[in-house]
Structure 1
C-alpha cells in the first residue's frame, strides 16, 4: 500500500503480510487509515513497513487493535483512539507509543520475544496505566528484573488493574533465567492491591507438556490393549467352540511342523508382551519426570492401566499355553502312531 485509503464505511480491517510503503514525508507519521473514520477493529499481522518511521493510527471509534510482528522502518506508533478497549502487541522487539491516555482500555496483551531495552519496556507499560486486565510474557518481567534501578522510588502506574497474568513464550533461556524481582512485582501491583496475580513459569509449561505426553502414551497403550484383548478373546472363543486349537491335518501329521507352528505363535505372543511392557516402562519413566502434584493426578489411571496390562498379558500367555498343550497332544498322537505301526495286526 502506498496511499491513504478512503473507506468511510469500513468497520473491520485485517491486513496480513502486507507491505505499507510511503516515499514522501519519511520523517513524519503516516496515517494510512486516517480516512477510515468508522473503523472499530484493526489488525496488522506480519506486515512490513518501508520508507517512513512512524505509523499514525488516529481513529475515534477504534475499539480493538492488534499489532503482531509489524517490522520494517516504523519504530514508533502514534495511537490516538479514545474508545480503545483491547490492545494486543506481539513482536520480537518493543514498540514505542507516544504519551496518550487510553481511558477506555480494558485489556492489554503484550508479548515481546526478545526485550532488550528495559527503559523502552517501562515506557510502553506506562502508556497502559488505565488497563484493567494485563497480560505480559515472562521475558518482559525478566528484562525489567535485570534493571530494577529504573523502578526505584517509582509508584505503580496501574491504579485500575484487576488482573495480571504472566507467562513465558520461550521454553528455554541461557542459564536459569532471571527471577521476578520484588521491585518489579511491586511496580506492577502495588497500586492495585485487589488485583489477581497469575504467573506461569517455564517449569510449569514443561510440566504441562510432559503431563500431556504421558497421557498420550497411556491412551496409546490402552488402544493396543483393547486390540490385543479382542484378538485373544476371539482366539480363545474359537478354541472353546472347537474343543481344542485347530492345526491343519498336514501339520498334525508332522512333528517338525507342529513345533514350527507353535514356535511362531509363541514368538508372536512374546513380541506382543514385550511391546506392551516396553510401553508401560516408558510411561513410568515419563511419570517420574513430573512434579509430585502431576504424578498424583495421573497415578490412578496408571494403576488401572497396570491392572489391565496384567489381564491382557495373562490372556496372551493363556493362548500360548493352549497352543502348547495342543502341540503336545499332536506329538503324542504322532508318537503313538509310530509305536503302533510295528505291532502285529490282530
Structure 2
C-alpha cells in the first residue's frame, strides 16, 4: 500500500515539473552539465527531445578520459540539435591542442547559428586559438581566456565583430594596436594579464619600451587587471566616451588617460603612475587604494589631478604617508573645490597603532570644501564587522545542522522503541549494554561539540566587545545594536544546546516491562 502511494506521489511531482514551459526547463538544465541534461531524456516522452532545443550549449572536456570521445560527443550533440531554435550562448572549455577538429566545429556552429554570447577557456599546449574564425554579425559578448605553459595566444585584427559590445580577454598577447577598431560598437572592455609583443630595437637589439594602446570612440567601461611592467611598460587610453575606469593590481610604469567624460575612477592595489589629461573635468567618484611602495610625492601629484572629484575614498595608509611628509603639502592650497564626501579606510587587515592623521593633511583635503563630510573607518571597526558576520554565519549553519540532527535522533529513538516492542529479546544483557554504550557515546559527542561551539562563540563575542571599546563613540553607537542582537541570538543558541543535552538525558534508555520480566525469570538456570 505504501509503495503504491509513494509511486503515485512521485508521478504527481514528475508531472508538475514536466508541466513547466520549455524556457523554464531550459534554465534548469543550463545549471547542470550537458551530459546530465541529455540523460534527462530518459525520464519521459516529454523530456526525450527537450535538450535538443536548448538555447545554451556548454561544452567541456572535463569528464572525458580521451579527447576523441569528446569530439564524438560534440558531433553527436550538434547533429541532433534543433537548428530552428535560436542559439544565444555557447561555452567551450577544453584541454589539448587548439587546432583539434572539435574546436573549429563548435566555433563554426556557433557563428553560423547567430550566437550572441561566447565564452572560450583554453588549456592549449602550444598552438594558438583559430582567431581567424572569429567573424560574426550577431556576437555581442565574448570572453576569451587562454592558459598555456608555453605562451599566450597572439590576437591580431583578423576578426570581424561589428555587433560586439562586451569583450573580456585574459592571458592574451595583443599584436595589433588597431585591434579594437574591428569592434566598432564595443562599450565594455576588460584586459586581464594581457601583454604586447616584445619589440627589439634595430640599433641595439635590446627590447624597447612596450606600449599597450587602447583607442576606441564608443568605449564606456574599461577594466585593466594584473598588468606588469615586465610585459607592458606604458598603457595609453584614448576613449572620448569613457565613463568608468578600473585599474586593479597594475604595476606598469605609467597609465596615460585621455577621457574627458570620465566620471568614476578606481585604482586598487598597484603602484602605477596615472596621468589624466587636463580636460578630465567631470570626475565624480575616485576610489584609490595603494598600500605598498607608497611615495608621498607621487601621491600628491596624483591627487592634484582629482580637482573635480565629489566623492573621494582613500585607504588609511595613503593618509599616513602624507602625514609623514607634510612639507609636500604645507604650502599648497586644497585642490578639492567640489568635494562632498571624503572616506578613509585601512587597506591592510592587520591591526596597527592608532592612525596618525595630522590636522594639516585633513585641512589639505577639506579646506576648499568646508561642507564636505569626513568618514574615518578604523581597523577595529572593519575587524568587528567581519567577526560579527562570521559568527552570524556560524550560528545560522549550526542551527540548521542541529535541527536536522535533533529530528534524526528523535526519529531514531521512536524506531528503536517500536522495534523493542515488536521483537522478542534474545540476549537481554548484551543488547542492554550495547544500548547504554550507544547512549553515552551520543551524549559525549553532544557534550564535546557543545563545549567546542560555546568556547568559540564566547571567544568571538569577547573579541568583538574589545574592538568596540576601542572605537570612538559615534561608530560604537552605530554598531552596538548589531552586537546586542547577535549577543542575544548567540545566548539563545547556547541555551538551546543545553536544552538538547537535558532532553537527551531525559531520554536515557530504560528497561521495558518485558525486559524486566525476562531478567527476573531467566530461561537458563543460573550457575
TM-score by length of 1: 0.81
Q: Any conservation in 2 of the 1:22–1:50 contact (CA below 8 Å)?
A: no
Q: CA distance change for structure 1 residues 207 and 158 in 2, over 3 Å: closer, same or farther?
A: same
How far off is 1:124 after superposition?
0.2
- 1:20 is aligned, of 192, 196, 208, to 196
Asked if structure 1 preserves the Cα contact closer than 8 Å seen for 2:224 and 2:247, the reply is yes
The whole-number CA distance in structure 2 between the counterparts of 1:63 and 1:53 is 24
Secondary structure in 2 matching 1:180: coil
Aligned counterparts, 1:183-194, within 5 A: 183-194=360-371
Q: Offset at 1:126?
A: 0.6
Report SS of the residue matched to 1:102: coil
Higher relative contact order (CA 8 A, sep 6+): 1
In 2, are the aligned partners of 1:28 and 1:54 still within 8 Å (CA)? Answer: yes
| Residue 281 in structure 1 maps to residue 455 in structure 2 | yes
SS at match of 1:326: coil
| Structure 1 partner of 2:266 | 88
Gap change, CA 1:54 and 1:276, over 3 Å in 2? closer
| CA positional deviation for 1:236 | 5.5
CA distance in 1, matches of 2:260, 2:272: 22
Structure 2: gaps of 5 or more residues: 1-173, 202-206, 469-479
* Secondary structure, aligned partner of 1:171: coil
CA-CA distance at 1:234 after TM superposition: 2.7
> Which residue number in structure 1 is paired with residue 521 of structure 2?
337
TM-score by length of 2: 0.56
8 Å CA contact 1:21–1:49 kept in 2: the answer is: no
> Counterpart of 1:32?
213
Instruction: Give distance in 1, aligned partners of 2:397 and 2:214.
Output: 52
Aligned to 1:219: 396
The alignment partner of 1:33 has SS state of strand
2:380 maps to 1:203: yes
The superposition leaves residues 253-286 of structure 1 with CA deviations (integer Å, 9 ceiling, x where unpaired) of 4324422322222322332233223312321222
Contact 2:235 2:254 in 1 (8 A): yes
Q: Distance in 2 between matches of 1:96 and 1:340?
A: 95
1:34-53 alignment, distance < 5 Å: 34=215, 36-48=216-228
Residues 203-226 of structure 1: per-residue CA shift (max 9 Å, x gap): 222112211222222123212321
Contact 1:108 1:134 survives alignment (8 Å): yes
For 2:258 and 2:218, locate their aligned partners in 1 and report how far apart those are by CA, in whole Å: 14
Tell me the C-alpha RMSD between the 2 structures. 3.3
Aligned residues: 331
Q: Helix, strand or coil for the counterpart of 2:511?
A: helix
Note the C-alpha offset of 1:94: 4.5
Q: CA deviation at 1:121?
A: 0.4
Give unpaired runs (5+ residues) of structure 1: none
Equivalence for 1:159: 337
CA distance in 2, matches of 1:300, 1:121: 46
Change (3 A) 1:20 1:168: farther
The structure with the largest alpha-carbon Rg is 1
Range 205-214 or range 21-30, more displaced = 21-30
Match of 2:243 in 1: 63
